[in-house]
Amino acid sequence: MSLSFSYKLTGSGWAECALEIDGQGIVTTASYLSHALERLLQSVVELLKRQPEATASFDEEPGEYRWRFKRIDEQAISIRILWFNKLWGREPDETGKLVFEATCRLRTFAGAVLSASQQLFAEHGIEGYKEKWVEHDFPLKLQDELKRLLAEGRQAKKE
């Protein structure tokens, strides 16, 4: 399985997130109207804490990319990304347009998200991120929690 993931700030209040799994890819964008990175990190943390499902929304102007994660088993997740034309429409998943669907190892995806967030932090830092993202601070506590959960999983495997 091949997986690549990136998350970049592309302008004042705009981000671009690229995901590719086994040759199938998508690029989603998000505006500062929501804290997309925080929502994504929170979803991955929830999955590592054994939650069966998690959701991250990337708000657009207008519209929404809704990332739906579902555990398949102990090691694998499915990722579905749905597009909605309305922002904050709270539409049921069934009314969204499926724009991406794939499965992958949870720890592989979590590691890629952590790496991308660390690169983002290294590039911008606390102040630079706030300046670019405008409304939200860098989600450092969630990044640290994700790092800790991944490290604990590695330790558990060694024992």
Residue-wise pLDDT for 28-56, tens only, equals 999 998 899 999 999 999 999 999 999 99
Q: What is the pLDDT of residue 157?
A: 54
What's the whole-number mean pLDDT along residues 137-158?
Answer: 86
Amino acid 89: pLDDT: 66
Residue 159, pLDDT score: 41
Give the pLDDT of residue 145.
97
DSSP states along 21-76: ETTEEEEEEEETTS-HHHHHHHHHHHHHTT-SEEEEEEE-SS-EEEEEEEE-SSSE
Query: For the chain, what is the domain count?
Result: 1
Domain extent, residue 125, equals: 3-158
- What pTM does this model have? 0.94
For position 60, which CATH number holds?
A: 3.30.2450
